[in-house]
Amino acid sequence: MRANFEDAYRDLAPAAARLFRLLGLHPADDIGLAAAAALADVPEPEARELLEALTARELAAASGEGRFTLPGPLRGYARELAEREETAAERDAALRRALDHYLAATATGGRDATAGEGELEAGGLALLERERWAEAAETLQDGLRRAEAGGDPHAILMARHNLARALAMTGDLDRAIDLLGPLPDEFAALPEPDDYNRARALASLGEAYLRARRPVAATNFFGQALEIMRRQGAVDQQAAMFVHIADAARQRGDHAAEAAALDRAVELYDSIESPKSAAVARRRAALE
């Protein structure tokens, strides 16, 4: 699967390749035309052409109502490329443009021409990225109500996941865990099972349990997520799971397990030339 992504990516024109990379940084799972234009800092007609080029090569998919998504592990692959080929300043600038777009939409209550239902949802995720936890939770609660009214099972599960992430950051861990607990099985039970987001939900469960000072349970969830990411060839996410496993080992006071997990994370990050490798390597060296 990954080899197919790489071949398709190499065939892209430079501007389309850049948009693909930047889409990996986007806070929501799908994106509208105006937000894509903001992310890439291009006019909307050009953004439409670039998105169409990505869909023609199956590096993006139309998700309805003029929105686009990166299915499954494509999102992780795009993020890997962004971290490798864009500078930190370029990544920060692109994300800031998209977040400012969504925050503007959120401030107007979705009443402007660029703000559809997917924009409020993404507005909540923008607030989450800005560490405005309480505002994010309020906005994402509204997003969940809209998803439930719309009746799309996948959209409802995604909205629950996003709200749970925000609640965990506010410290409302019991409610976050209640929302997250059924999600892995529910993503698996969809008419078209979504293993990628099943793994993400497992990872979020692990993070919530880690915040609740329950590192053994957290490690179990991280391990389940890791196995799914291995099957999907999502190297960046595999490395991230090993970092989480190291966090849980540290919380248990198991320095040998922490070191082993960090070693594996560095190895994986190095294999994709990720800039995250250096920070993890420094953390590993500090254990000596």
Flag whether pLDDT at 9 surpasses 70.
Answer: yes
Whether residue 226 contacts residue 192, with contact meaning beta carbons closer than 8 Å, is answered with no
- The model's pLDDT over 138-186, given as tens digits with 9 standing for 90+, comes to 989 998 999 999 999 999 999 999 999 999 999 999 999 999 999 999 9
pLDDT of residue 256: 96
pLDDT of residue 115: 44
Flag whether pLDDT at 198 surpasses 80.
Answer: yes
Q: List the single range of 183-187, 190-194, 280-284 with lowest mean pLDDT.
A: 190-194
pLDDT of residue 102: 80
pLDDT of residue 109: 52
Q: What global pTM score does this model have?
A: 0.81
Bigger pLDDT: 216 or 104?
216
Instruction: Using a pLDDT cut of 90, give the percent of the chain over it.
Output: 65
What is the average pLDDT across 70-85?
A: 85
- The model's pLDDT over 106-149, given as tens digits with 9 standing for 90+, comes to 665 543 333 444 568 777 887 887 788 898 899 899 989 999 99
C-alpha span between 75 and 77 (Å, rounded): 5
pLDDT of residue 112: 36
